Amino acid sequence: MNLKQLHHYRLPRPGCLLTLSRLSSLFTVSRLRCLLAISRSGSRITVSRLQFLFNISRLRYLLLLSLLSLRFSFSLIAQTIPLPATSSLKGTPFNNITLEASLKPFKKKDKEYIRLVAKEMFTQWSSLLRHADTVSIMLWTGDGSEILDYRGELTQPLSWAKFMGNPNTDHAVGSGPKELSLHERAYLYIPDPPAFTYEDLKFIIATLKATGRSLTGKPIRVGATFDPGPEFAISDFKYKRHTEILGGSSMGHKTFVSCYSTLNADSTAYAGFPKGIPANTPFGAFFGRQSQHFLTDLGYDYIWFSNGFGFGVEGWSSTGAVFNGKGFEKEKMADTRAKISDFWQLFRKECPAFRIETRGTNISAGADLARDGVDLKMIYNGGYNILPPPNSPWAALDGDFGLELTGYMSRMAELPDERYIFRYYTHDPWWVNSPWLDRYGSEPHDIYLPMSVARINKAGETKLPTHLNLLTIDNSYGDMPSEVPDEVTPHILKARYDAPTAPGPLVWVYPFDEYHDWAYTQQDRLPEIYYGDWLIRQAINNGFPLNTVVSTASFQSAYSNKPEMFNGSILVSIDPAAGSPLEKLLISYVEKGGRLLVYGPADHAGQAFQDFLNLSNKTPLEGEFTVDGDLSTDQLTEKYPLRLRHLALFSGGGIATTLLNAKDPNTKIMATVSQGSDHRDIAWSRALPAWHGGKVAYLRGTNSSTFMGGKLLTPDDPEKWFTGPLLLRYALKAFDFNYGIDKAGPAVKNPVLTISRSNNAFIFSGYSPNTTVLQKFRLPQGAPVFTGFETRLKNGFSTYSMPTAWHKECRIFVEQAEGILSCKEEYSGQREISRRLQLAGLQKATVRIYPGEAATPESLQVFLNSSYPWKTGRITFKEEENKTFGKCYVVENVTGTLGIAW
């Protein structure tokens, strides 16, 4: 900030109170607590202390004053911190935006060239960086071996990621037959890449900080990276001198560093071990001490643990230290947890202060726990100053959004604090692909889907990602094509503008604490823990529109504080522990009018919950079944097969569930399976008159996938076997929530969908792997009519043929059997009107309107068959008495065109 810009800020007035509300609008709660603690102790708050506690960007004018030696210091009750007088920015800002980059753009060592490259990095993304308090650059210098090999000498040559492909193979870089793939042989990215030293790297880091501060006026952090695998750079340390640290097999047998390995003796002098490495040195201790020296000497601010490092040994696989694809070696659980815990403690003992940001695995919290002993709860509660793992970019590359979203939600159900990351894959600087341009085809589905996800905390607040990472801003050739930031930025900002402000129609009550307890106290439930997340993964991949997660602990707290906040949602939960407070709460929730969808085996369900569900368990069955029931939600030219394969190992045990009382008039069967003369009930709903409209549905659930030796579980052939997780979406019909699909046959992939709530609107975000599919909707309020779209009504359903990626607002629902409707954005034309929509094609319809939260019955205007200047045709409406789905206004028996304004 310069002196000319200073006039945009109001100087604080002595005597003004710095109130809690003002502080909470300026700072995050965790920092606020720190400030309040200082205030209670009577300490005075100086500029330097504020710099440490808060985002410096919001104190720039204070820094300016301090630089001018004005000796500015104040206490909490002495003066107030001003905000900018005006701001044109929209949406919730990010605490931090990270631009990830390799060293490839620095194609010359010339210092002026380095400065120009740094300037271009920040300039390209400037319109997005305005929406952050802090900006970070995460440098993919090498594969992390530059940390392991660091000798403490800045003149030491730097082994860096100057390659395309894997440089740690049997074939030398640039050698071998031309037909070898990049995974078999690497190339230099340019003919004569720079020969960097650690001193050059230090200059690059300093230049990035100085340039970033100059261009953005924000604090700039620079992070280092450590990857456990063979990608990116040549590593003699991993693959020649210390192969004993290799354990994982994600890119071949023993190719990934195990975080809990131990090192053999080594006489080489390292920065942290000038006399060499003693035999049996834990890798965590060695890596921690090396990191402390490296990060300090080079000027870094934090470190990133990549590709599952610190979270077990198999970050990419559906198997691991505990699950081998054939069974669970439960006796390894406690030992594996101890080893992982030892790594974190050893690392933090040697490197105590630098923040750790983490990539995590490609899987999910429950599956990671059961397969590889990854105790996320232990890591989160360890006080290690970490940011939790973001969404996995890897799953989305294969269109496996179910795995991406399941992993993301399961890991954010609980957090070390309120911070978490959304990460987006723009370029790959190693493997000659740029996902935005090629894998995604410049379609923003992997922006809108994960950015529609939100978590609910214990206070009942809807929390968004606080950090945004862009992997990476340079491609494999070291170029930074400007079209990528130009095209990606508007979608990220739009997704942020439309971010959830309330729980979505479906809320996953995730058993974070239960899974981490049962894994050690009820180890016979390891298959159930493993199965649960895989079922949700496959359900999402088949259209189950899940976007909100809350842990079981947070749900109980949030519900006690704000019981009405879940009125518009269907809770999705496993059966709770017998006799637990959660069991009592879920039963009470439904009895008071709530909606609950229970999934998974009920072998451990308490008697009270079994009676509540009208459920009884018989002898479990597995193998091949015939499925029967109401399977008409989707319409296929070639029908789904009716054979279901249920494997106990992958589905939390066999199928044991039946109705306790088959004659109960309040219970409605949705699906059954048979195996010879044996029958089991697998899906039903129940609603008692005394439940005030409440309803519970139960789905036993089959994980229709198995381990075939690859990295992930392989889904059953949909042309041969019925896809069991489809029934989760089908079960929503019990709640008058209808989402169906018309397509040619079972092999045509189903769309992926999320429905979120933002400013009283319903936001639909989708990915259509096959655009010939027709999507049909009818919710309890009627057929949703998307803003800016036409829809043909069929039997009361709105129908849409959607593109590959789509993101649409819905504020209008219509009850009408047939016809063509359109909902168009119109210009305001009136001073007091901020929004105007036109709804055409109505025929004796009932219309439900969901205006913005700020709208009132007095400010809402509805016109029939009218136009500008809107002097005639104004009609009355009524406020919906049922507030289940938020603020809603109703117009009944209307024909023609409605103008709706607020």
DSSP helix/strand/coil, 575? coil
Which residues are within 8 A (CB) of 894 and not within 5 positions of it... i.e. 6 or more apart? 842, 844, 845, 846, 847, 864, 875
Backbone angles phi, psi at 769, to 5 degrees: -65, -20
State the pLDDT at residue 9: 32
Which residues pair with residue 469 across a beta bridge?
98, 423
DSSP helix/strand/coil, 888? coil
Condensed to tens digits (0 to 9), the pLDDT of residues 733-771 reads 999 999 999 999 999 999 999 999 999 999 999 999 999
- What is the mean pLDDT of the segment spanning 580-597? 98
- What is the mean pLDDT of the segment spanning 416-430? 97
Decide which of 195 and 22 is more confident. 195
State the pLDDT at residue 27: 42
SS3 for 487-555 is: HHHHHHHHHHHCCCCECCCEEEEECHHHHHHHHHHCHHHHHHHHHHHHHHHHHHHCCCCCCEEEEHHHH
Condensed to tens digits (0 to 9), the pLDDT of residues 682-739 reads 999 999 999 999 999 999 999 999 999 888 999 999 999 999 999 999 999 999 999 9
State the pLDDT at residue 137: 98
Is 178 a residue whose pLDDT tops 50? yes
Decide which of 85 and 660 is more confident. 660
Backbone angles phi, psi at 727, to 5 degrees: -65, -20
- What is the mean pLDDT of the segment spanning 647-658? 98
- Please report, rounded to a whole number, the percentage of residues in the chain having pLDDT higher than 90: 86
Torsion, Cα 125 127 132 135, to 10 degrees, reads: 30
> Distance between CA 532 and CA 530 in Å, rounded?
6
Q: How many C-beta atoms surround the C-beta of residue 412 within 10 A?
A: 25
- What is the mean pLDDT of the segment spanning 334-351? 97
Is 315 a residue whose pLDDT tops 90? no
Q: Which of 32-46, 347-361, 664-678 has the lowest mean pLDDT?
A: 32-46
Which residues are within 8 A (CB) of 818 and not within 5 positions of it... i.e. 6 or more apart? 793, 794, 795, 843
Cα 125 to Cα 104, 206, 451, 492: the distances in Å are 18, 20, 19, 12
Condensed to tens digits (0 to 9), the pLDDT of residues 135-160 reads 999 999 999 999 999 999 999 999 99
- What is the mean pLDDT of the segment spanning 557-573? 97
DSSP helix/strand/coil, 29? helix
- What is the mean pLDDT of the segment spanning 260-271? 97
Place of tokens 């049962």: 518
Query: End-to-end CA distance of the chain, in Å?
Result: 39
State pTM to two decimals.
0.90
DSSP helix/strand/coil, 200? helix
- Please report, rounded to a whole number, the percentage of residues in the chain having pLDDT higher than 70: 89
Q: What is the mean pLDDT of the chain?
A: 91
Q: How many CA atoms lie within 13 A of 698 on its CB side?
A: 28
State the pLDDT at residue 650: 98
Condensed to tens digits (0 to 9), the pLDDT of residues 529-559 reads 999 999 999 999 999 999 999 999 999 999 9
State the pLDDT at residue 248: 62
Express the helix, strand and coil content of the chain in percent, nearest 5 each: 30, 25, 45
Helix H or strand E segment including 48: helix 47-53
State the pLDDT at residue 791: 98
Is 59 a residue whose pLDDT tops 90? no
Condensed to tens digits (0 to 9), the pLDDT of residues 443-487 reads 999 999 999 999 999 999 999 999 999 999 999 999 999 999 999
The pair of three-digit structure tokens given for residue 659, joined into one six-digit string: 């109705």
Is 266 a residue whose pLDDT tops 70? yes
Q: Residue 253: pLDDT band by 50, 70, 90 thresholds?
A: low
State the pLDDT at residue 729: 98
Q: Which of 241-245, 397-401, 598-602, 671-675 has the lowest mean pLDDT?
A: 397-401
